[in-house]
Copies of this chain bind each other. A is one copy, B any other.
Amino acid sequence: MKVAVIGGTGGQGLGIATRFVVAGEEVIIGSRTLEKAQAGVDKVKELQGDVKNVKAATNPDAAKEADVLIMTVPLAAQKDTLLSIKEGAAGKPLMDATGPLESCIGGSATRCLNLTEGSAAQRAQAILPDAKVICAFNNISQTWWMQLEEPIDCDCLICGDDKDAKAIVTPLIEKVPGIKVVDCGMLERASIIEKITPLLIGLNIRNKCQFGGIRITGLDKGRVCK
């Protein structure tokens, strides 16, 4: 599958891109300029050798070519970046990993901003109504993505309004060793999922750690009536 990582030159984007390269997907690293995207590709190749399944493109070109898109940009760049890929994103699953953290406005990454739409993923859907937006990847730390020698000990909580899009991305995400996808329902669930990120960042700070994550338990235990 052709996977575009839009804004894929930061730590989170490069980590996600590298994991999908390792998984054997065709990865396109997108950035505002081709030069920056190519620098991202070079970094992946520093880690993985001269792999053939990663290439660079501008964000609009990456979006047009790919089957599924992953957004890894800071909140302040989310709107402009989304508008720049409007054409390519139409009709495609678009996984949004944008964290609406207070650090976006010079505050603490342990706190969330309250966005008008309810969450960054809902904001993405409002900006690109033709894309099939899925909230994903929010709760997996950047450090986990780059810890390539280990499976990731964290669930990937997703939500979105398009069931088919979720059915496409679920097996893709689960190609990354260790990750289990937990479908939390409609896109409005992003207002909760995104808030878990600052909780985990706070736990990382308290525990001098970079790997704080979550697992959902008990969903296979059925019901018991007492």
Which of A68-76, A120-128, A206-214 forms part of the interface with chain B? A206-214
Structural contact, B216 and A212, CB atoms closer than 8 A: yes
Copies of this chain in the oligomer:
2
Known: A217-B153, A217-B154. Is A208-B189 also a contact (CB below 8 A)?
Answer: no
CB neighbours (8 Å) of A147 from chain B are 224
CB neighbours (8 Å) of A226 from chain B are 11, 143, 146
Interface residues of A in 193-225 (CB under 8 A from B): 193, 195-196, 198-200, 202-204, 206-224
CA of A146 to CA of B222, assembled, Å: 14
Which of A25-33, A86-94, A97-105, A179-187 forms part of the interface with chain B? A179-187
CA of A195 to CA of B189, assembled, Å: 10
User: In chain B, what residue has the closest Cβ to A143?
Assistant: B224
CA of A215 to CA of B189, assembled, Å: 19
Known: A195-B195, A221-B209, A222-B209. Is A189-B202 also a contact (CB below 8 A)?
Answer: yes
Interface residue? A144 (CB, 8 A): yes
CA of A219 to CA of B157, assembled, Å: 19
CB neighbours (8 Å) of A203 from chain B are 182, 184-185, 216, 219
A221 touches which one: B185, B211, B221 (CB < 8 A)? B211
User: In chain B, what residue has the closest Cβ to A182?
Assistant: B203
A218 touches which one: B153, B182, B217 (CB < 8 A)? B153
Interface residue? A167 (CB, 8 A): no
Interface string of A110-132 (1 = CB under 8 A from B): 10100000000000000000000
14 contacts between A and B (CB under 8 A): A11-B226, A112-B192, A146-B226, A153-B217, A185-B202, A189-B202, A192-B198, A195-B195, A208-B223, A209-B221, A211-B224, A212-B218, A212-B219, A213-B217
Q: Please report A residues at the B interface, Cβ cutoff 8 Å.
A: 11, 110, 112, 141, 143-144, 146-147, 153-154, 157, 182-185, 189, 192-193, 195-196, 198-200, 202-204, 206-224, 226
